[in-house]
Amino acid sequence: MSKIKFQDVLRDSIQSLFGTNPSAQEIIDSYPTAHLIGTEAIQTGGGTFFDIFAKKGRNEWAEVEKLLLHFKSLGVRQSALIRGDFLLGYEPQPYDVIRALVFEYASMGMNILQNFHGLNDAACLSGVAQAVAEAQDAGYDIIAQGTICIEDNPNITVARCLAFAEELVELGHKGFYLKSASGRLSAYFVYELVSALYKRFPDHEVHIHAHSTYGEAPVCYMAAVLAAVELNKDITMDVQHPALSGSTAQPSMNKMLNLIKNYPDERVATKSPQLNNDAIKASMSSLYGLRFQYRNYESRYNSELVEAMYYARTPGGASATLKSIPGLVENLGRLTGVNGHHADWDQIQIAIYKMQAEILEDLGQPTQVTPYAANTTGQAALSLWNQLEGRDKYHSLYPGIADYLVGRHGKVPSSTSKKLITKALKQLNLKTSEKYTKAVDRPDGIPIAEEKLVEVGLLKPTLRQNISASLLKDSGSFKAIEHILSVANECNSPDIPPQLPFYAMPPNPKIRADGSGFNRDIRDAVSVIGGYSKLQEIAERVLHIKQLVDRRYIFPAGEEDLEKKWLRANIERLRLIIENIPLKLSKANFTDGQKMIMLDGNNTNNIHLTIRDAVDQKGPGLYDFMIKILEVES
């Protein structure tokens, strides 16, 4: 009997929402019941969970190990997203480095490596597949899952995906991981692809992953489910804990459960996964708290910006890397501003993404996933800058785009502009494009890394230090070798967590001079209503309501009624939270005078200002939208 299964993609929420800023310990502490919920696996590694750990001044190996050993001790089956030969970095690695990293991860309890290349080039995946096979021979419980990157893209067809799947199977991959970083997908395409994969490869299970950025993920998940169930096959979908879901992360496990149970076809509705709702609720407050603490790293909702991102097929967040390019943001702000006023960051991004939609065809329509997403957005920003200053938009090529165009990142789509390829060759002083060199054909990297470390005084580098020296690259103020040395000498300086606003700090009530009670301030009021976790819950609900009102979600046929149900349920829950605030203050023995101060909208120290701050952090004008929607629905 076929099953519908969930994978909790914890790693991707931390990366997509918070830019991998929390530490491993913060992640563990905020999600104490992850292992009890009932998901098939938890994604605990890969992506930026190495490179960014290091760039935040942390010991990247200690962070990875802490996470993997924690979940291993709880009996969790763990997965990691691996960028093929690029591993956890941005340049292809030789086989000895790949093998060393795979064995290190396997020894820490990693079970599944979701092995991907953005343009579905099998040559870039062979190294990881071979290393996993050797790890299996050595007795480790680990597999390589063949990833097929998909999106609404003319380069991506069912026929091409099936041909690539053949190559994945030949390399020894087990199962298929359909990955859409942009979340731009057609449900019809997903249905056809999943059906075709199961018919051609009946022994390989299909797993689907898509981001919620444009609201297309849920309907595409359900299309995959229907295709699998019709053929009596299992299907796994990537979901998030409700407190970490939506925005640029993945769909909520609760929402997907609701869609499955409500599905008009009984063959689907009766296969709903069994989740532990108490375990989900038990981590709700702490995860909302983490989201509040790192809220400044999360993308804000702006309907015009989302529209521009949609046509650029961007995963979201790719533009954040542009702030590190000297002068770029300042100049674009000046050039895109009006009447001498600099444009704000949202306006700059809208202009960049409009340019990105314009240049995609010239670039050969690269799939918008690492590293192509960041590189495409980088080129769009440079092209915009060039154009606004009167130059040809391809006057200069972004370094990552130049490398892509000459073949250094794998195959280049045949539709790519020949003029751009010629320009990239000239920029890199090459006569012809480069043929991608497979990992096994590259010179060993460990000895080169070791030599670098010995030269700077690390006389006996460990294998992990050598891997770090191979993967980590200088970027802005971050110097890879200096970082490895500082970690070895235990003098690295990890970034500290963001400082909470005053109202979110622990309360400090003081006894009045006459002993008749306590003097209390806004910190006490926030604590009484549920702390800053409750403020974040309010903010997430308001954003969810706004997205529903803006029709940002696409519902499967026969489940359109859920749109109104979700909208009504969120408004009622929001109303209940707001209306209960005075009651909670009373139960906490706030005096009438203290309540008046905390509830008075004209007072500079009131609870409504804290709610406004939390809600408007999700998007400009959302607090005023909340007030209006509560008035209209009252």
The 10s digit of each residue's pLDDT in 281-291 is 999 999 999 99
Q: Helix H segments across 34-125? A: 51-55, 60-73, 95-107
Average pLDDT value for residue range 534-546: 97
DSSP readout, 159-214? Answer: HHHHHHHHHHHHTT--SEEEEESS----HHHHHHHHHHHHHH-TTS-EEEEE--TT
CATH number at residue 396: 1.10.472
Average pLDDT over residues 299-303: 89
Mean pLDDT of 617-632: 94
Give yes or no for residue 371 having a pLDDT over 80: yes
Grade residue 320 by pLDDT with cuts at 50, 70 and 90: low
pLDDT tens-digit readout, 46-71? 999 999 999 999 999 999 999 999 99
Mean pLDDT, residues 476-502: 95
Domain with residue 30: its CATH number is 3.20.20.70
Question: 512 and 482 in one domain?
Answer: no
Q: What is the DSSP letter of 506?
A: P
Whether residue 188 is found in the same domain as residue 75:
yes
Q: Where would I find the H helices in 313-398?
A: 328-336, 345-359, 372-388
**Does residue 511 sit in the same domain as residue 566?**
yes
Across the strands, what pairs with 206? 176, 235
Compute the half-sphere exposure of residue 105: CA atoms within 13 Å on the CB side of its CA: 33
Asked if the structure places residue 433 within a domain, the reply is no
Q: Which pLDDT score, from 0 to 100, does residue 395 have? A: 96
Residue 321 pLDDT > 90: no
pLDDT of residue 22: 95
Provide the residue range defining the domain that includes 615: 502-632
Q: Is the pLDDT of residue 325 over 70?
A: no
Tell me the pLDDT of the chain averaged across its residues: 94
Do 95 and 159 share a structural domain? yes
Q: Are residues 238 and 163 in the same domain?
A: yes
Report the pLDDT averaged over residues 304-321.
Answer: 82
- pLDDT tier at 396, thresholds 50, 70, 90: very high
- pLDDT at residue 495, as a whole number: 93
Is 471 inside a domain boundary?
A: yes
Calculate the CA dihedral of residues 31, 37, 42, 44 and round it to 10 degrees. 10
- 403 with 313, same domain: the answer is yes
- Whether residues 196 and 71 share a domain: the answer is yes
Please say if the pLDDT value at position 195 is more than 70: yes
pLDDT in the model for residue 630: 93
Structural domains of the chain, count: 4
Least confident of 166-170, 258-262, 446-450, 628-632: 628-632
Last residue in a domain, options 263, 297, 331: 297
Q: What is the SS3 assignment for 400?
A: helix
pLDDT > 90: percent of the chain: 84
pLDDT band at 605, cuts 50/70/90?
Answer: confident
Question: What are the DSSP calls for 144-158, one per residue?
Answer: EEEEEE--S-TT--H
Region 383-391: mean pLDDT is 94
Is there a single domain that holds both residue 42 and residue 137? yes
pLDDT at position 299 is 85
Domain boundary among 241, 268, 297: 297
> Does residue 508 share a domain with residue 396?
no
Q: Are strands 510-511 and 518-519 parallel, antiparallel or unpaired?
A: antiparallel
pLDDT higher than 90, residue 330: no
| pLDDT exceeds cutoff 90 at 610 | yes
Q: What are 205-240's pLDDT values in tens digits? A: 999 999 999 999 999 999 999 999 999 999 999 999
Answer yes or no: do 232 and 337 share one domain. Answer: no
